[in-house]
């Protein structure tokens, strides 16, 4: 028998003439039976309604006759998304559904144009459904009497959970949920459910009740774990269900293969040489997104298209994280309205509003991971039944093999995992103060709640005690500074009494820290976006630079704003920004090695491999093509010195660590100083003396993981890495105040104060939890210690093939070009040297990509003037 609620929503669904997917029914049954869990569904599959409609049905079931007049006197559903921009669209869709079904409900977003107005509105009257972000949830927990807000709560939905999992924002969500679970009293529900026997008591509250928690996630490698993390350690596994939308999304992936791979760039990362081929695809398509890996690459591509295809002026736009929000919103709306044929962007368009008109996606350069590529491909053909069409554009020859690897990985269903963060004490400190700011907390109760989260399952009472000390007395070290005495204890209740401390804390809730940036504004007013201080410092008044796709003349800097006016010059430098340096994911790297093994075995079924044959033949002829049981090292002498090249194909971060490690181990045999270069495929050690590599290889400990941590400590400046990590940790943990909005504390001061804190802690309190965390984070994220270990263990089982080579091989070339740049030569010399290297080699076109981008007016990439 179908319940009243189900009847109502199904009828509504039919009216809309929407197609109903099988998983939506499964979701409905599961939800109405009272389970919590994870919904695994791709974007554009109607996943929002798959959860929202059963929730409505549940409510209607409770008020079958009066639901059309039934308002509720409190918050029933909390919907959390990582992207503020998503809340408005979802709100609209939900409101429309409620209106049409006849529920007199109010669907609201917490974040919006006027936070103050919204906050006031929330206080007056709670909406039935609230859409918000993890940060806003914590802001709510920082309000007096916050439990009142949640005492009617029935379900919390965490949308795009895969985006949050693996980040400190994810830990924030875990902590927030641990609180909500314990706030919501028993509820009765489930009247008229189809299968009564499936009704199960919920773990929180008494009897048939408690809050349900549902995550929505795209496909990742560790979905089961994602559900565990979301629900916490105290959630009985039998009450968790996974609902999978087995939708076969049609994907059409193609690599763009250069006409002559031998003459294609062997090195480089811009990929402009394939611009004509890309533009042919753009011309054939209705709307195309071109994804680039960096913001400056977006600017370069945009500029190059404007230069070479002026007819695109007006129907092309750019989108990346340093552009002004207004501009970005405009681009998104224009995409929606089918007013644009082409948008050049970075991952700022990975998520977001649905762009139906987009039918083609182009990825320039390595997407670095299978899941990211899938996500981007999915931006095209974004409606049920449509085909997602994506092209991969290699920026240098060898990268083309990644195209084959991507296709293979997708076919085999290999996706990256998102590893949840553990024991992030900075986030916990912030959360403790958050609770102290509102109603206060009791240590034992909070400890129990916190320990129920996945992130803090292993926290000890002693560690928790240290954190309590820290927020009340500044811990061992900072006790004499009033500034760190935030929380007071009254009869066992930890509470913030100072209004000033409370306000400052509310201002700094969140786990995202960012570089201080300089706003770019027209002299006439109007903002374009932001660039970094270091870039501005290179500019002199009158200089031209390209930003937001325009030629700008720099006038002056005043109060963190760079004023510009329009320039007619077609030449100008393009800013670069400091950002993350993502390595190739271990999954994609593994499939890449598989492909290489196929190549070494002469298997030529992929078009990419066939195209690359001349390159691989040359590699074989000059050196060797390693099979999966072999590890290739190339040794070679030049004027610069003695080069050693290693090819673990394990991503650049691992290579960086391994290079330092091996350099250190070699230097124990013979003291030498090395210079290091690396890319995602391998690394180079360069020294001006002979390297006793044979001797090093004879020793079984060369690639060993014994003494790994010790050797890493000796070979890398671990202190420096941890110090840099500590900067963010200190921000999140509230050790430094970044200033009131609009009047940020100067970066230099912050730098100095976090650095000082790090030193003080290291000296006087070596067991400090935040310092320990800084080292752990450096090890896990900067060095990818886990992967490094695995790579060393793999190499230890492989046959080492040491080849003495005459000239750089196709494998070596891109790494060595990287090292040329690193030596801070002028671009001209770099270009000459690349050309020389290429000539000495008989490969004419080798450096063409770099040449082109240096010669083209307007895409000059000289450093300085």
**Site residues (CB under 7 A) for DNA?**
82-85, 110-111, 115-116, 119, 132-133, 135-136, 139, 167, 169, 269, 293-297, 320-322, 346-348, 350-351, 499-500, 503, 506-510, 512, 514-515, 533-534, 576-582, 652, 679-680, 720, 738, 740-743, 747, 751-752, 755, 818, 821-822, 863
* Closer residue to DNA in complex, CB, 24/576: 576
Considering the complex, what minimum distance in angstroms separates the CB of residue 534 from DNA? 4
**How big is the CA angle at 204 (ends 63 and 227), to the nearest 5 degrees?**
100
* Closer residue to DNA in complex, CB, 42/321: 321
* Closer residue to DNA in complex, CB, 4/506: 506
- Integer CA distances (angstroms), 495 to 111, 137, 138, 730, in order: 27, 19, 16, 21
In angstroms, rounded to a whole number, what is the distance separating the alpha carbons of residues 157 and 80?
6
* Closer residue to DNA in complex, CB, 201/821: 821
Residue bearing tokens 């869990």 = 37
Considering the complex, what minimum distance in angstroms separates the CB of residue 319 from DNA? 8
What does the block give as tokens for 566?
């329009």
Q: 536 and 518 in contact (C-beta within 8 Å)?
A: yes
* Closer residue to DNA in complex, CB, 285/293: 293
Q: 395: closest CA among 376, 361, 368? A: 368
Cβ-based neighbours of 38, under 8 Å, separated by 6 or more: 161, 214, 215, 216, 217, 223, 226, 227, 230, 240, 242, 243
Number of residues that this document lists for the chain: 865
In angstroms, rounded to a whole number, what is the distance separating the alpha carbons of residues 148 and 155?
16
Number of other CB atoms surrounding residue 406 within 10 Å: 27
Considering the complex, what minimum distance in angstroms separates the CB of residue 350 from DNA? 7
* Closer residue to DNA in complex, CB, 695/717: 717
List the beta strands (DSSP E) in 143-268: 155-158, 212-217, 240-244, 251-255
Q: Torsion-angle region of residue 233: left (phi > 0), alpha (psi -120 to 50) or beta? A: alpha
- Integer CA distances (angstroms), 630 to 210, 596, 797, 799, 826, in order: 57, 11, 9, 5, 38
Residue 238 half-sphere exposure toward CB, CA atoms < 13 A:
6
Residue 789 half-sphere exposure toward CB, CA atoms < 13 A:
9
* Closer residue to DNA in complex, CB, 508/635: 508
What does the block give as tokens for 778?
């450096």
Q: 133 and 115 in contact (C-beta within 8 Å)?
A: no
* Closer residue to DNA in complex, CB, 269/787: 269
Considering the complex, what minimum distance in angstroms separates the CB of residue 175 from DNA? 16
Residue bearing tokens 């997708």 = 410
Considering the complex, what minimum distance in angstroms separates the CB of residue 408 from DNA? 22
Considering the complex, what minimum distance in angstroms separates the CB of residue 510 from DNA? 3
Considering the complex, what minimum distance in angstroms separates the CB of residue 159 from DNA? 12
* Closer residue to DNA in complex, CB, 26/818: 818
Considering the complex, what minimum distance in angstroms separates the CB of residue 97 from DNA? 23
* Closer residue to DNA in complex, CB, 94/584: 584
Considering the complex, what minimum distance in angstroms separates the CB of residue 755 from DNA? 5
Considering the complex, what minimum distance in angstroms separates the CB of residue 483 from DNA? 11
- Integer CA distances (angstroms), 456 to 36, 171, 229, 424, 502, in order: 21, 9, 11, 8, 25
DSSP 780: I
Residue bearing tokens 């770019």 = 520
Considering the complex, what minimum distance in angstroms separates the CB of residue 115 from DNA? 4
In angstroms, rounded to a whole number, what is the distance separating the alpha carbons of residues 357 and 386?
11
Considering the complex, what minimum distance in angstroms separates the CB of residue 320 from DNA? 4
For residue 494, the cross-strand partners are: 441, 489
What does the block give as tokens for 109?
């977003």
Considering the complex, what minimum distance in angstroms separates the CB of residue 678 from DNA? 8
* Closer residue to DNA in complex, CB, 752/804: 752
In angstroms, rounded to a whole number, what is the distance separating the alpha carbons of residues 754 and 774?
12
Cβ-based neighbours of 137, under 8 Å, separated by 6 or more: 78, 80, 172, 173, 176
Considering the complex, what minimum distance in angstroms separates the CB of residue 239 from DNA? 30
Considering the complex, what minimum distance in angstroms separates the CB of residue 371 from DNA? 12
In angstroms, rounded to a whole number, what is the distance separating the alpha carbons of residues 153 and 415?
34
Residues 385, 224, 82, 412, CA torsion sign:
negative
Residue bearing tokens 């029914």 = 25
* Closer residue to DNA in complex, CB, 119/772: 119
Cβ-based neighbours of 654, under 8 Å, separated by 6 or more: 583, 648, 783, 784, 787, 788, 791
* Closer residue to DNA in complex, CB, 210/814: 814
Considering the complex, what minimum distance in angstroms separates the CB of residue 337 from DNA? 20
For residue 508, the cross-strand partners are: none
* Closer residue to DNA in complex, CB, 110/521: 110
* Closer residue to DNA in complex, CB, 4/84: 84
Considering the complex, what minimum distance in angstroms separates the CB of residue 208 from DNA? 33
Q: Mind giving me the DSSP string for 22-76?
A: HHHHHHHHHHHTT-EEEEE--TTS-HHHHHHHHHHHHHHHHSTTTGGG---SS--
Number of other CB atoms surrounding residue 337 within 10 Å: 9
* Closer residue to DNA in complex, CB, 148/822: 822
Cβ-based neighbours of 376, under 8 Å, separated by 6 or more: 289, 291, 347, 350, 361, 363, 367, 390
* Closer residue to DNA in complex, CB, 80/644: 80
* Closer residue to DNA in complex, CB, 56/658: 658
Q: 32 and 193 in contact (C-beta within 8 Å)?
A: yes
Considering the complex, what minimum distance in angstroms separates the CB of residue 121 from DNA? 13
Phi and psi for 525 in degrees, rounded to 5? 100, 165
Residue bearing tokens 């330092």 = 660
DSSP 373: H
């Amino acid at each position: 028998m179908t319940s009243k609620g189900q009847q109502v929503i199904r009828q509504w669904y039919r009216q809309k003439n929407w197609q109903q997917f099988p998983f939506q029914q499964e979701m409905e049954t599961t939800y109405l039976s009272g389970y919590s869990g994870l919904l695994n569904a791709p974007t554009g599959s109607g996943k929002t309604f798959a959860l929202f409609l059963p929730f409505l049905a549940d409510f209607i079931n409770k008020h079958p006759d009066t639901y059309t007049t039934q308002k509720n006197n409190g918050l029933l559903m909390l919907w959390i998304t990582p992207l503020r921009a998503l809340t408005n669209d979802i709100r609209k869709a939900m409101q429309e559904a409620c209106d049409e079904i006849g529920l007199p409900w109010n669907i609201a977003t917490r974040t919006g144009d006027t936070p103050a107005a919204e906050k006031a509105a929330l206080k007056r009257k709670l909406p039935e459904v609230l859409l918000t972000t993890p940060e806003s949830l914590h802001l709510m927990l920082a309000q007096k009497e916050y439990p009142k807000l949640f005492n009617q709560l029935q379900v919390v939905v965490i949308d795009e959970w895969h985006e949050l999992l693996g980040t400190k924002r994810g830990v924030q969500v875990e902590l927030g949920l641990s609180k909500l679970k314990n706030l919501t009293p028993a509820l009765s529900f489930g009247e008229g459910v189809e299968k009564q026997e499936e009704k199960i008591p919920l773990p929180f509250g008494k009897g048939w009740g408690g809050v349900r928690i549902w995550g929505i996630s795209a496909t990742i490698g560790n979905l089961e774990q994602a559900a565990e993390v979301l629900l916490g350690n105290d959630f009985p596994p039998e009450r968790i269900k996974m609902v999978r939308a087995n939708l076969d999304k049609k994907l059409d992936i193609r690599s763009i293969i250069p006409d002559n791979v031998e003459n294609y760039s062997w090195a480089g990362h811009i990929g402009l040489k394939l611009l004509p081929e890309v533009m042919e695809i753009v011309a054939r398509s209705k709307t195309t997104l071109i994804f680039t890996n960096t913001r400056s690459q977006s600017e370069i591509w945009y500029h190059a298209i404007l230069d070479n295809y002026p007819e695109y002026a007006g129907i092309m736009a750019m989108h990346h994280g340093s552009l002004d929000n207004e501009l970005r919103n405009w681009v998104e709306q224009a995409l929606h309205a089918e007013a644009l044929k082409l948008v050049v962007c970075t991952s700022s368009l990975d998520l977001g509003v649905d762009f139906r008109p987009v039918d083609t996606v182009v990825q320039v350069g390595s997407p670095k991971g299978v899941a990211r590529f899938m996500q981007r491909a999915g931006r095209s053909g974004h409606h049920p039944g449509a085909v997602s069409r994506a092209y991969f554009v290699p920026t240098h020859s060898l990268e083309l093999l990644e195209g084959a690897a991507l296709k293979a990985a997708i076919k085999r269903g290999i996706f990256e995992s998102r590893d949840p963060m553990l024991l992030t004490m900075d986030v916990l400190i912030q959360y403790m103060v958050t609770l102290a700011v509102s109603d206060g907390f009791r240590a034992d109760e909070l400890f129990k709640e916190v320990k129920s989260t996945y992130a803090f399952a292993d926290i000890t009472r002693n560690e928790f005690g240290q954190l309590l000390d820290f927020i009340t007395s500044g811990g061992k070290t900072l006790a004499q500074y009033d500034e760190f005495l935030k929380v007071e204890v009254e009869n066992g209740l930890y509470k913030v009494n100072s209004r000033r401390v409370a306000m400052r804390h509310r201002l700094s809730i969140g786990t995202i820290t960012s570089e201080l940036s300089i706003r770019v504004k027209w002299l006439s007013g109007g903002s374009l976006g932001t660039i970094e201080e270091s870039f501005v410092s290179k500019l002199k008044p009158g200089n031209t630079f390209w930003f937001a796709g325009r030629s700008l003349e720099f006038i002056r800097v005043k109060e963190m704003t760079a004023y510009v006016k329009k320039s007619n010059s077609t030449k100008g430098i393009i800013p670069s920004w400091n950002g993350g340096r993502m390595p190739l994911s271990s999954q994609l790297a593994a499939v890449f090695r598989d492909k290489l093994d196929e190549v070494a075995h002469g298997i030529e079924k992929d078009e990419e491999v066939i195209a690359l044959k001349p390159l691989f033949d040359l590699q074989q002829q000059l050196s060797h093509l390693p099979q999966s049981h072999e590890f290739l090292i190339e040794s070679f002498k030049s004027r610069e010195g003695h080069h050693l090249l290693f090819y673990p194909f394990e991503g650049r971060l691992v290579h960086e660590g391994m290079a330092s490690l091996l350099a250190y181990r070699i230097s124990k045999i013979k003291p030498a100083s090395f210079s290091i270069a690396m890319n995602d495929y391998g690394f180079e050690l360069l020294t001006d003396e002979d390297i006793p590599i044979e001797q090093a290889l004879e020793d079984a400990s060369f690639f060993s993981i014994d003494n790994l941590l010790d050797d890493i400590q000796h070979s890398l400046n671990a202190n420096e890495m941890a110090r840099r990590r500590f900067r963010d940790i200190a921000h999140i943990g509230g050790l430094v105040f970044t200033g009131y909005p609009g009047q940020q504390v100067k970066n230099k001061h912050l730098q100095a104060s976090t650095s000082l804190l790090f030193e003080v802690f290291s000296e006087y309190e070596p067991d400090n939890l935040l310092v320990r965390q800084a080292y752990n984070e450096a090890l896990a994220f900067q060095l990818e210690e886990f992967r490094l270990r695995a790579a060393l263990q793999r190499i230890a089982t492989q046959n080492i093939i040491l080849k003495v080579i005459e000239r750089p091989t196709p494998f070596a070339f891109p790494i060595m070009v990287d090292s040329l740049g690193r030596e801070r030569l002028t671009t001209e010399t770099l270009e000459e040297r690349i050309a020389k290297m290429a000539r000495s080699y008989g490969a004419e076109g080798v450096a063409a990509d770099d040449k082109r981008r240096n010669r083209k007016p307007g895409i000059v990439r000289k450093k300085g003037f």
